[in-house]
Amino acid sequence: MNDTMPPCPECSGTYTYEMGALLVVCPECGHEWSPTPSEAPAGESGEKVVKDAVGNVLQDGDTVTVVKALKVKGSPSGIKAGTKVRGIKLVDGVDGHDIDCRIEGFGNMQLKSSVVKKA
């Protein structure tokens, strides 16, 4: 029940809420819709902001450090905490994996921004 959410276009209900980044829901009538840019909550711009595990904003080309050990399928040893990854690329990946990178000894892979820290 956010004051910045638009009223429902079906029933004019005022108790709408955001469900995910692309959907607004009305609990009174059950109507779901995508907000227009003018209806988007305050502070959101058209560009997605990706933050690391401690809240630093990441950009393409940054160098990051892995903050916890990661298991890798098909590898007897995973990626150790403290591994530096240079030249990341931010992508809209699958299942929260929003960093595309190349890790020495493992090759190309995608990481979640929640497991890295800006170096």
pLDDT at 114 over 80: yes
pLDDT at 2 over 80: no
In angstroms, rounded to a whole number, what is the distance separating the alpha carbons of residues 85 and 63? 6
111 CB-contact burial (10 Å; exposed 0-12 / middle 13-18 / buried 19+): buried
Residue 37 confidence class, pLDDT cut points 50, 70, 90: low
Q: Which two tokens stand for residue 31?
A: 């109507």
Sheet architecture: strand order including 97-103: 89-90, 97-103, 107-112
Sign, Cα dihedral of 66, 68, 71, 77? positive
Total-model pTM: 0.59
